Amino acid sequence: MPHEAPDIVVFYADLGRPYLPLIDRMVRSAKEVMPESRLVLLTPTPDKELISRFDLPLQTSTQSTVETVCYDKACAIISWQMKSDRPCIFADPDLEFVRPVEFPDEDVALIWRRKSAQPVNAGMILARPGCPTFWNKYGVTVGTLPVVLRPWWIDQLAFSVMIGARSQPGEVVNVHDARVRLLPETCCAPPERANEDTWALHYKGHRKGEGWGRYFATHQPVEQRGDGWA
């Protein structure tokens, strides 16, 4: 397929967490390693300081809370993908790109971990235009999973439900009208598990840095513990 610069699409809702330094790092790294890409922000909280970092900031129609943020992220991805005519890298704001992302020939690519309960890491999703049946089914799946999962996990668990947990990294599976490539988890990995094939570092949990420890204390209830991008 001919090369086409991708959109790097980020959903972010300002819920009072110290994310701006992480967003700055993500934006800076994207511009360094993929200078032709377009940085797209999907947000329900479009303050001037936030939107100035992106090439195309767009306000989503619904507000987010700590009880709905991963559900809202999934809805934003579906809405964008249904109208997009460019390859997309859906990226969490706590990524740092270290190499250009290499799109496979398949329609969708997911980071596939060796975790039977949660094999998909939705911190990075690659998608080419098209496959409306796949994305519609993703939306239906997200909408029918338990509401308690909407703060965390629902965005990636929906992919796992659609694909099943028995697949392995490197496989290509047919799901509705899409061919889905399952990428090894080293493509988007925590810093300590990165290698020469890693495209992006994922600063999950305590790796986010100063000011984040209190959001990941295990004794706290979910509404205080995290923000959907653990």
pTM of the model: 0.91
Query: Confidence band (pLDDT; 50, 70, 90) for 221?
Result: very low
CA 228/CA 222 separation, integer angstroms: 10
**Structure confidence at residue 1 (pLDDT):** 43
* pLDDT at residue 129 in the model: 97
> How high does pLDDT run on average in the chain?
91
Residue 229 has pLDDT above 50, yes or no: no
pLDDT, mean of residues 196-208: 94
Q: What is the pLDDT of residues 74-132, one digit of tens each?
A: 999 999 999 999 999 999 999 999 999 999 999 999 999 877 778 999 999 999 999 99
- pLDDT, average across residues 19-31: 97
Q: Is the pLDDT of residue 13 over 70?
A: yes
The helix/strand/coil state of 91 is strand
Three-class SS string for 121-140? EEEEEEECCCCHHHHHHHHH
Instruction: Please give the domain boundaries of the chain with CATH numbers for all domains.
Output: 7-225 (3.90.550.10)
Going by C-beta distance under 8 Å and a sequence separation of 6 or more, which residues neighbour residue 73? 11, 155, 228
Q: What is the DSSP string of 7-48?
A: EEEEE---SS-S-HHHHHHHHHHHHHH-TT-EEEEEES---H
How many Å apart are CA 78 and CA 147, to the nearest integer? 18
